[in-house]
Amino acid sequence: MYQKIILIGYLGNDPDMRYTPNGQAVTNFSLATSRKWKGVSHQLMTETIWWRVSCWDDLAENMNKYLVKGQKVYVEGRLLAPKIFMGRSGEPAVSLEVKASTILMMSLGHTYSDSKNIPVSIENEENEEDKIDDEMPF
């Protein structure tokens, strides 16, 4: 089975990069995603979800150089198992983390992937899923 999550949101903090004991780079940052809609009485409603994003190796080093708090980004990756904990108010809370494989800095128009060191325009990326022929075989 294959799992992928795509998020578009704003960095809640500057990236934090460190190295593991074996020398592997890891960068973490928080990401806020929001949706807006009109409520029953036509008032504007907003829901914001905070995500923890981690990226590794070359992607971690590149993102640490270029990302800043408040920047709009596209993140593609794998959702890790949610962690449940007791919040400050004593209520149960959940921590959602994505291990990023691709990050697009939307204001710059470049993407960085963990499989490449160089920026690539997102328009150049093509998925096998995008190549599906929708025509009927008969």
Mind listing the pLDDT tens digit for each residue in 41-86? 999 999 999 999 999 999 999 999 999 999 999 999 999 999 999 9
Task: Tell whether the model's pLDDT for residue 108 goes beyond 70.
Answer: no
pLDDT band at 122 (very low <50, low <70, confident <90, very high): very low
**Would you list the DSSP string of 1-65?**
----EEEEEEESS--EEEE-TTS-EEEEEEEEEEEEEE-TTS-EEEEEEEEEEEEEHHHHHHHHH
Output 91 or 115, whichever has higher pLDDT: 91
pLDDT for the residue 2: 84
Cβ neighbors of 136 (< 8 A, separation 6 or more) are none
| Distance in angstroms (rounded) separating the CA atoms of residues 10 and 22 | 31
Binned at pLDDT 50, 70 and 90, residue 135 comes out as low
User: Mind listing the domains of the chain with CATH numbers?
Assistant: 5-131 (2.40.50.140)
The answer to whether the CB of 76 falls within 8 A of the CB of 6 is yes
How many other C-beta atoms are found inside a 10 Å radius of the C-beta of residue 47? 9
114 vs 73 pLDDT, higher one: 73
Distance of CA 28 to the CA centre of its chain: 11
pLDDT of residue 131: 40
CA dihedral 38, 40, 41, 44 (to 10 degrees): -20
Quote the pLDDT of residue 111.
Answer: 56
CB atoms within 10 A of CB 18: 11
Report the distance separating Cα 78 and Cα 99, nearest Å: 5
